[in-house]
Amino acid sequence: SQTIHQWPATLVQPVGSPLSLECTVEGTSNPNLYWYRQAAGRGLQLLFYSVGIGQISSEVPQNLSASRPQDRQFILSSKKLLLSDSGFYLCAWRLGRRTEAFFGQGTRLTVV
Amino acid sequence: DQQVKQNSPSLSVQEGRISILNCDYTNSMFDYFLWYKKYPAEGPTFLISISSIKDKNEDGRFTVFLNKSAKHLSLHIVPSQPGDSAVYFCAASVSIYGNQFYFGTGTSLTVIP
């Protein structure tokens, strides 16, 4: 069966520090991968998605970047965190169209 | 620009009664819709989906209705149970593009025992 791992679960980082969040999927090949963010009191905002290794699409301009170095690995990064980067970050995967997406447990990032 | 909207941030329902959660969308090209349930500090879990070729889909206590002309979908939970208390998100995608999901802002459901 397929599983998705996302870590760390919680993270407190100072402003200006770098960020690296990792997500891996097991039990499937060539998934579409997604990074979402839920800011306090808001919905799920799509940040990045990837349909294959090295292929990254960005939905909104921001202080973040994403990479997909392997088929089932998706990384969210920042060189210098801002206070506004605080939020709940979720990784998700799906196979093809007209299918549901499956989410990881999320990372609570607090920038102080 | 929010293409998927959930205008009710919260809803309270008595146990055993029907819960109706609503969702509106603006993009007429959306043709695949989903509902997710989310507990605090956890990832959303998939509940039910519907394709635009249907107007209703049922799965146990959960039924999703789609009104394409009104660009509106709803989730009915019958009967509501205290364990249903969570935040519910609707999501939509354009299947010919295949990739992006767009989520609403969520409705927090409280089922009162």
Token pair listed for B77: 């939970």
pLDDT at B44: 93
pLDDT at B59: 96
Interchain contact A95–B (C-beta under 8 A):
no
* Shortest alpha-carbon distance between residue A98 and chain B (Å): 6
Q: Measured between beta carbons, which residues in chain A are less than 8 angstroms from residue B95?
A: 97-98
Interchain contact A100–B (C-beta under 8 A):
yes
Range picked from A37-46, A88-97, B69-78 for highest mean pLDDT: B69-78
* Shortest alpha-carbon distance between residue B8 and chain A (Å): 12
CA-based max dimension of chain A: 40
pLDDT at B83: 95
Interchain contact B42–A (C-beta under 8 A):
yes
Q: From A46, which residue of chain B is nearest by alpha-carbon distance?
A: B102
From first to last of the 113 residues of chain B, give the pLDDT tens digit: 678 999 999 999 999 999 999 999 999 999 999 999 999 888 999 999 999 999 999 999 999 999 999 999 999 999 999 999 999 999 999 877 667 888 999 999 999 99
The 8 Å CB, 24+ separation contacts for A38-42 are A38/A87, A38/A88, A38/A89, A38/A90, A38/A106, A39/A86, A39/A87, A39/A88, A40/A86, A40/A87, A42/B105
